[in-house]
Structure 1
Amino acid sequence: MNIINQFRSLSYKQQRDLLNQLQSVLSSSRPILEHRHVNNCPYCQSNKLYKHANYAGGGTRFKCVECGKTFNEFTGTSLHRVHKKELWDGFIRLMLESKTIREICVELKISKQTALDWRHKVLSAFNDLYTKQFKGVVETDDTYFRFNEKGKRGVVKYDRKLRGISNQQVSVMVTADRYKSIDLKVIKLGRITTSALEKKLNLDRFNKSNIIYSDNSRIIKNFFRDLDIQHETFIAKEKYNGNVHVQNVNNLTRRLKDWIKFNFNNVSTKYLHNYLNWFMMIEILKDKNNSEDIMWDYLMKSSSANYNFRKIENNYKILCS
């Protein structure tokens, strides 16, 4: 109680400075390595490893028997060669609150480029995490985002009054079953095609026991017919006796678009896939009490996060080609 009374006697600025210092101490004390369990070599995926040395940060270096390369717990992860790791606890907390780059820079006292790089290093870790198979009824629909080069100077201004679907829009498939498993995938510029769906969707998440509900899209019907998966069409003007609807997907799409518009006032197409990952992570964690710990567990599972981060520019060129 004496400490609390002393804290109350401080001015508001002194209280805020003290809280920031305490937060920094708390962040630097987080045992990040407890969330990382090294079982395979990040270079060749072999499990024939042995401890090679220790380093100053309190971690361990390993050596792979198969390829002979050495690495530590952070190699290949989002924290690969990242400085100021002690700030990442606060950084993850701000990400879970959907804070903007400007707000993160002010609170953590880092540069805009550092905050942007850290954000996409984190989000690149979630590319391959959503692999759980859909169960039972699965709703799916395509939605579209305006092609955007936010953050790039000297870009061509696009016609905001343009109607219909064109290459100035990016197609995204939104899929969800009724057990809260979801999937969001960037497909291509312009209208979806069956060949693009085959390349972009994770087909292992679907199985023959699924029943697919969608609107009256010929492309979606043909795609699932070729996969030999039962498909039923929902037409808004008709009334069905039963639960044939796409309300879950429509609600998910609305929340996604509202989240992007409210928090970021639209996002660059170059990074759209990562923002979809971010939204899926928020959806997974929204009812969890220990969301920060769970996010750290997800974050440190991926040994390909750094590789995915370096591929962003190339993937964007492929999307635009």
Structure 2
Amino acid sequence: MRSTAFQRLLESMDKLSMAQIERLGDALKAARSRRAGLEVLEKARPVACRRCGSLRVVRNGHRGELQRYLCRDCGKTSNATTDTPLARLRRRETFEAYARCLAKGFTVRQAAKACSVSVSTAHRWRLRFLEKVVEHQPKALSGLLEVDETYFRISHKGSRSLKRPPRHRGGEGAGRGRKASEWAPVLVGRLRGQRYTTDKLLTRVTAAEVTRALRDVVRRGQTVVCTDGGSAFLNLEKDLGVPAKSLVVGYDGHVMDGVYHVQSANSYHERLKSWVNRQLRGVATKNLPLYLAWMRLRAWGAGGVEPRDILTSALGKQVINL
């Protein structure tokens, strides 16, 4: 808006009725929310060309309220969302409100209602917003790392073809006991006294897969790994090259030597499974890594992360586990 038009708007404020002032206040609040999301996107402006990597990037008008940039070398244009999971999504002015829904752990229908979008759009946005966060794992941690596995029943939620009879409302499968073919293992590591969390969806809980999941997380000489007595954890000290403590609850109790336990990891398991299985009513196994990443965002710090941090993460910049 031009400065003269803005000045006329300010001068007309004294002529507004109380009803008009309230309507104007609601409109300003909505406009502020829209601009907040767009400003986060604008701050992620490309320093280099997203196409060829050239630094000769200049402003080149706007498209859909976002600044576009032109590369002087390859002639291609781009904006802050180009080549990111948020590319080509519409209604960008609603992104900040949707990020707020993710921060609160809303269901798809709750988020759709809060942002005035369809349920299918809310679900598609959820997958796009969390795509890059899957990669935001901690690296080379120092301290006591509690590691334990938990299990989610394999779900084909949303699939139009099943190779087995359907289980209505999550009912148990045929037979007794836990069959490996019906459960998906998730490895979780929590750094004692700090907010770092690592997680990995495994195909099987084997020594090779556990070692592969933790190799980049630990730091030689500065990390101590604490696990339960599972056979997959017995050779971690040799495989990772870091001290490892393994306790068997039936023999050592819940705490060994007054220090070593996996209760922080188990507490995280409980919060994760209660949220996924109860509030979200279960998720498809193929999308489970996205929901593990979502939980990492929500568990980062006492109050989780801010909506602007979720938007920044969706664009590919790591804001957790740093």
Q: Shorter chain as normaliser: what TM range? A: 0.7 to 0.9
Match of 1:163 among 167, 177, 186: 177
The superposition leaves residues 133-182 of structure 1 with CA deviations (integer Å, 9 ceiling, x where unpaired) of 32111110111100001122353325715412412111110001112211
Cα 1:174–1:74 change in 2 (3 A) is: same
Match of 2:195 among 176, 180, 187: 180
The alpha-carbon deviation at position 302 of structure 1 amounts to 4.0
The equivalent of 1:11 in structure 2 is none
- Aligned residues between the structures: 288
Are 1:39 and 2:53 matched, yes or no?
no
The one-letter code of the counterpart of 1:295 is I
- In the alignment, the residues of structure 1 paired with residue 185 and residue 142 of structure 2 have an alpha-carbon distance, to the nearest angstrom, of 25
- In the alignment, the residues of structure 2 paired with residue 134 and residue 302 of structure 1 have an alpha-carbon distance, to the nearest angstrom, of 20
The one-letter code of the counterpart of 1:61 is Y
Q: In terms of mean alpha carbon deviation, does 292-301 or 243-252 score higher? A: 292-301
The superposition leaves residues 75-133 of structure 1 with CA deviations (integer Å, 9 ceiling, x where unpaired) of 12232111111111211111111111112222323222211110110011212223343
The equivalent of 1:265 in structure 2 is 281
The equivalent of 1:61 in structure 2 is 69
Match of 2:137 among 127, 130, 136: 130
The alpha-carbon deviation at position 229 of structure 1 amounts to 1.7
The alpha-carbon deviation at position 47 of structure 1 amounts to 5.8
Are 1:218 and 2:243 matched, yes or no?
no
Structure of higher CA gyration radius: 2
The alpha-carbon deviation at position 23 of structure 1 amounts to 5.1
Cα 1:168–1:68 change in 2 (3 A) is: farther
The alpha-carbon deviation at position 52 of structure 1 amounts to 6.0
The equivalent of 2:7 in structure 1 is none
Q: In terms of mean alpha carbon deviation, does 273-282 or 165-174 score higher? A: 165-174
Q: In terms of mean alpha carbon deviation, does 32-41 or 110-119 score higher? A: 32-41
- In the alignment, the residues of structure 2 paired with residue 285 and residue 118 of structure 1 have an alpha-carbon distance, to the nearest angstrom, of 24
Maintained 8 Å contact 1:41/1:64: no
The alpha-carbon deviation at position 267 of structure 1 amounts to 0.9
TM-score (norm 1): 0.78
The equivalent of 2:32 in structure 1 is 26
Match of 2:207 among 186, 191, 194: 194
Are 1:256 and 2:264 matched, yes or no?
no
- Taking every aligned residue pair, what percent have the same amino acid on both sides? 22
Corresponding residue SS for 1:119:
helix
The equivalent of 2:157 in structure 1 is 150
Corresponding residue SS for 1:278:
helix
RMSD: 3.1
Cα 1:247–1:80 change in 2 (3 A) is: same
For structure 1, which runs of at least 5 residues remain unmatched after alignment?
8-14, 304-321
The equivalent of 1:318 in structure 2 is none
Are 1:297 and 2:312 matched, yes or no?
yes
TM-score (norm 2): 0.78
For structure 2, which runs of at least 5 residues remain unmatched after alignment?
1-13
- In the alignment, the residues of structure 2 paired with residue 64 and residue 146 of structure 1 have an alpha-carbon distance, to the nearest angstrom, of 53
